[in-house]
Structure formats: C-alpha cells, structure tokens
Amino acid sequence: MVTDLASQRNIKEVGVFLEGEIRKAKKLEDTSADKDKGAEVKAVATAPSSTNEYRYLLIKCVNQITQLYPETIPMMICPLMESFLMFEKKGSMASLETVIFIREVIEVYPEHRQTILEKLFGLIDEIKNHLVLRVAIWIIGEYSISQSEVDQAFDSIKRNIGTLPIFVENKEEDAKPAEIEDTPKTITKTIILPDGSYGTETIVLDDPSKANAQNLSEDHIPLRKALKNADDDFLASCISISLTKMVVK
C-alpha cells in the first residue's frame, strides 16, 4: 500500500520507510509459515510469516519505486546491497534478486555506475552464494572501465581467489614426486662477513609446505570455497571472461 500510494510529494518519506524495512529485514530470522490463523494474524501485525518472501517483496517494491522515481536510487541501492547480498542458503533468492536488480540499475542508469562498483568491490568479500558471486563478478568485469576501476576489480577478485594453485595435487597418487616437491628450494651464496672473511648464506626460495598451509588457511574465503566445493564451472568461466575483458580494456 505504501508503494502504491507513493507520489512526488511523499517519495522521500517512502524511500526512508523502505530503507528502514530493508535494514530490519536483514536482521530477521528465517521463519516458516504459521500454521493456525491466530498465529497468522499476529504475524501480520508484528513480522512477516516468511522472511524470505518479505525480502523478495521489498526488492520488488524498491524496483518499482526506482523505476517511477529514479532520484531514489542513491537512497535505496546501498542499503539493499549491504543487507541482502550476503545470504548463503536461507535467503539466497533475495541475494540473487538483489544482484540482478543491481545489474539492471547499472545498465540503465550509468551515472550510478561508479558508486555501485565501489560498493561491490568491498562487499564481494562477504558474498557467499556462488550464483550471486557469478553475477557480481560479471558486473565488475563488464562495467569497470577506468584504470582505477580495473585495478580495484583485479585486486578484489585476486584477494578472493587467494593463493594459487587452488587445487593441491593428491600426494597419495605419486609418493616419490610429492616428497621431492615438498622439499624447500634453496640456494647457497658466498657473502663477505663483517670481519672481512668469506662465509656462506642459504636462502629459501620456495617452501611447498608453507604454501600448502596457506592454501588451507584461505579455504574459508567465500569465492575460493565456491570454486572448490560448489561444482560450478560457470563461476570459473565467468572469472576468466571478466579478467580477460579487463586485460583488453
């Protein structure tokens, strides 16, 4: 009703109201539909019977309002991104609808491109759903144009992929080569000591055991985790295509 009653005279108040509801919907716990009518009436008065449905309704309302009144986009877009992009399983549909809405806004209203990209560069660290990550990375690769934007895009993707290689070879398949690979690579060079005499110094160039430990410590990063566990070849393809676009630019 609030959305339908929006007009040029009260659009700021409607925007503030929707912004507040978006932030509240982020904190709401996912609940199942109430079974009896009494509980249903109570839920309508206090909180939505289905949090995910309410989030979806809010996205739909924001979409409607921004189409009719584009001046509300700056007020709506940042709270929506901050609140709805991070859901993993429960609420993942709201996250997907949000990133698709962002894609439409950045295409139709290029004047908001820089603001959306800067926000997305920071929020991509917190996006957990692999479908949402796929669209977010496509947006970054498609709409990063200036040198500064491309540099930030590269840094955000690189930071979330982590140390390479992502997949460590199975040591049980070939024990001897694995043992050789696990040996740190070193070089020994002659140096001049403080007293003028000669000595030697050993420098470790590459320690596979440390690299493997670092790989394991980075497995909690959402994008890296999605690449390893989500079985989503399209995500890897999207990353490759986006990086190629930015190199060409």
pLDDT, tens only, 201-239: 777 665 555 545 555 567 789 899 888 886 778 999 999
pLDDT > 50? residue 34: no
CA distances from 75 to 17, 192, 194, 223 (A): 11, 65, 65, 28
- Share above pLDDT 70 across residues of the chain, in percent, rounded to a whole number: 78
Same domain, 78 and 179: no
Cα 239 → chain centroid: 12
Alpha carbon 113 to its chain centroid, in Å, reads 17
pLDDT at 51 (0 to 100): 82
118 and 209 in a single domain? The answer is no
Summarize the confidence of residues 69-92 as an average pLDDT.
Answer: 87
CATH of the domain at 15: 1.25.10
- 103 and 205 in a single domain? The answer is no
Q: Residue 57: is its pLDDT beyond 80?
A: yes
Let me know whether 180 and 238 are in one domain.
Answer: no
Q: Are residues 196 and 226 in the same domain?
A: no
With beta carbons less than 8 A apart as the criterion, state whether 127 and 95 touch: yes
Picking from 24-33, 44-53, 95-104, which range would have the lowest pLDDT averaged per residue? 44-53
Could you report the per-residue pLDDT of 82-114, keeping only the tens digit for each?
999 988 776 678 899 999 999 999 999 999 999
User: Do 132 and 61 share a domain, yes or no?
Assistant: yes
Q: Which residue has the higher pLDDT, 64 or 27?
A: 64
Q: In angstroms, rounded to a whole number, what is the distance separating the alpha carbons of residues 88 and 229?
A: 14
> Residue 148 above 70 pLDDT?
yes
Q: How many domains does the structure of the chain reveal?
A: 2
| Domain contains 4 | no
- Quick check: is 42 in a domain? yes
User: What domain range includes position 205?
Assistant: 175-215
Judged against a pLDDT cut of 50, whether residue 33 lies above it is answered with no
Residue 141 lies in a domain: yes
pLDDT at 38: 46
Whether residue 201 sits in one domain with residue 133: no
68 and 113 share a domain?
Answer: yes
CA distance 180 to 183: 5
What is the pLDDT at residue 172? 53
pLDDT value, residue 247 = 94
Is 2 part of any domain?
no
pLDDT band at 137 (very low <50, low <70, confident <90, very high): very high
All residues at 6 or more sequence positions from 126 whose CB lies less than 8 Å from its CB, including other chains? 85, 86, 222
Would you say the C-alpha torsion 20, 23, 25, 28 has a positive or negative sign?
A: negative
Q: Give tens-digit pLDDT for 162-204.
A: 888 887 766 555 444 444 455 667 777 777 777 777 777 777 6
Enter the DSSP assignment of 72: G
Residue with more model confidence, 151 or 200: 151
- Residue 203's H or E segment, with its range, is strand 198-206
Which tokens is 7 given?
Answer: 């007009």
